Amino acid sequence: MAQTQVKVGDKIPEYLYFGLLDNNEDEPKKMTSGEVFKGKKVVLFGIPGAFTSVCSSKHLPQFVDNYDKFKAKGIDTIACTAVNDPYVLREWANAHKVGSKVLMLGDGEMSFHSALGLTQRLPFAGERGLRFSMFVDDSVIKILNVEDPGPLNYKISGPENMLKLLEESGKK
């Protein structure tokens, strides 16, 4: 697991922000982490970049495919974040027919990733986010899966592992 600043039990600050762009909008709007997480059960996954190999072939499509399973477990929102602008995330979501199943949160200014220590430097891409998934309950991180740095690492941050961990945490 990669070294990060954030850990299970930490509360996500409410003032961090993302860029969000719906299909019918021309200009992105700001959405704070408080708006995303406060009073909700959220599964958030982070990727190194939209339109990249593992992110496009596995990570995003598998979360979309498992949407109903997450909803059945009481998850209010499945969200994806990347160090990309909201225009890129909107086009990527459209290319994968995401619809309203995944909230696409652009972190082009790295407000979220930097504050939580979820960054990595990649050749030819610069500063990017680590690949991760987390379950956040009312702004508190309950489950955190952070992959080792690198654009292709994908072992613990996928939906199957998150669903398994949610199941296990519900039995305690």
Other Cβ atoms closer than 10 A to 57:
11
| Residue carrying structure tokens 């990309």 | 84
Q: Report how far apart, in Å, the C-alpha atoms of 39 and of each of 10, 15, 61, 133, 138 are.
A: 15, 15, 27, 19, 4
Nearest-5° Cα angle at 8, 49 to 168: 95
Catalytic residue status for 80: no
Q: 104 in helix, strand or coil?
A: strand
Q: Is the dihedral of CA 54, 52, 44, 22 positive or negative?
A: negative
Nearest Cα to Cα of residue 141 among 71, 42, 73, 74: 42
Point out the catalytic residue in the list 20, 21, 36, 55. Answer: 55
| Catalytically active residues, by annotation | 55
